[in-house]
Amino acid sequence: MDLRTALKQGETLLTEAGVTVPRLTAEVLLCHALGKEKVYLYAHPEEELSQLTWIHYGRYLHERMEGKPTQYITRHQEFFGREFYVTNAVLIPRPETEHLVETALRLMPKAGCAIDLGCGSGAIGITYHLETGSPTHLSDLSRPALEIARYNAAHLGAEVSLHQADFASSLRTQSVDLILCNPPYVPAGDESVLQREIRDHEPALALYGGDSGVEPYRVVVEQALWLLRPGGWVVFELGYQGLQEVRRMLNTPAWEAQEVVHDLAGWPRVLAARRSG
Ligand SMILES: C[S@@+](CC[C@H](N)C(=O)[O-])C[C@H]1O[C@@H](n2cnc3c(N)ncnc32)[C@H](O)[C@@H]1O
């Protein structure tokens, strides 16, 4: 079978299975099986697939049709122009999380000390460190997630410190300028409304934020009171219903400014607050 036919067949199978963007997905999976860039598919449409490539491609198609996210098959996701290694031990970094990083870079282009709480793959903290050169700590409760973050840091040349912690709980001696946090924020009861790719494949610890979906914010806001220096910023990513609740947590004299940033779809996606001086 040649590449053109393999692509067409893959697209048909994915379409029948109800996978969104079937053509693009077939391209990505075929490229992954070949170990080539997309341009190769269109430059060599008559090339015959080796038996081994066909076996790999077939397996990837099957996995995707069963609901496994493409990124867990190819083991990578681009974030802020860099490739991050991902497995099902970590949340797949989302494009909308780039708003959090952009906001942090604008509010604090350089930090004496920054920390990414709930780092997962390390996408946020590693990116902030690489963009600013600021000393940066990353923490996560999940040891497997920290191993992925460690791999990404080494691979991308980021000299960050990694800690296994319940958010900042074991970092009491730190005094930081910037907290970056994309906590789990899906209410526990909303499991059934998630896409199966998310619900059945991404780690529960990365998704569910207690019954209300805002419990992790409460923990981080409390920790931020002793962790942040006066004038320091906490920058949160928000879930769809998080804005009012998290704003309320920050409406105390301990916080002197708040900023909300909307994503491209118009949702309030990032909330930043400055610790009173
Ligand atoms: C929504 S994911 C965000 C991952 C990554 N920062 C990103 O934006 O792609 C939330 C992360 O918080 C971690 N987490 C959940 N509960 C935690 C806790 N109590 N302490 C520390 N990390 C926690 C999860 O393991 C997961 O990696």
Tell me the per-residue pLDDT of 224-253, one tens digit each, with 9 for 90 and over: 999 999 999 999 999 988 899 999 999 999
- Residue with the nearest Cα to atom 11 of ligand 1? 118
Q: Cα separation of 164 and 81, whole Å?
A: 27
Region 96-122 average pLDDT: 98
Q: Ligand 1 in contact with 268 (CB < 6 A)?
A: no
Q: Which pLDDT tens digit goes with each residue over 23-65?
A: 999 999 999 999 999 999 999 999 999 999 999 999 999 999 9
Any ligand 1 atom below 6 A from CB of 235: no
- Does residue 208's CB lie within 6 angstroms of at least one atom of ligand 1? no
Atom of ligand 1 nearest to the CA of 97: 8
Q: What is the pLDDT of residue 277?
A: 80
Say what percent of the chain tops pLDDT 90.
95
Pick the CATH number of 76-275 from 3.30.1360.150, 3.40.50.2300, 3.40.50.720, 3.40.50.150: 3.40.50.150
Instruction: Say yes or no to pLDDT of 164 above 70.
Output: yes
Distance CA 272, CA 250 (A): 10
Cβ(209) – ligand 1 distance below 6 Å: no
Confidence grade of residue 170 (pLDDT, cut at 50, 70, 90): confident
**pLDDT tops 80 at residue 174:** no
Mutate to test the pocket of ligand 1, among 84, 141, 201, 217 (most ligand atoms within 8 A of CB): 141
CA-nearest of 192, 186, 206, 188 to 92 is 206
Rounded to 10 degrees, the C-alpha dihedral 108/111/113/116 comes to: 40
Distance between CA atoms of 123 and 110, rounded to whole angstroms?
18
* pTM assigned to the model: 0.95
User: Is 205's C-beta closer than 6 angstroms to any atom of ligand 1?
Assistant: yes
Verify whether ligand 1 is closer than 6 Å to residue 167 (CB atom): yes
* Structural domain spans, the chain: 3-66, 76-275
Mean pLDDT computed over every residue of the chain: 95
β-pairing verdict for 228-237 and 176-181:
parallel
Report pLDDT for 172.
65
Q: Is the pLDDT of residue 173 over 70?
A: no
Nearest ligand 1 atom, CA 184: 1
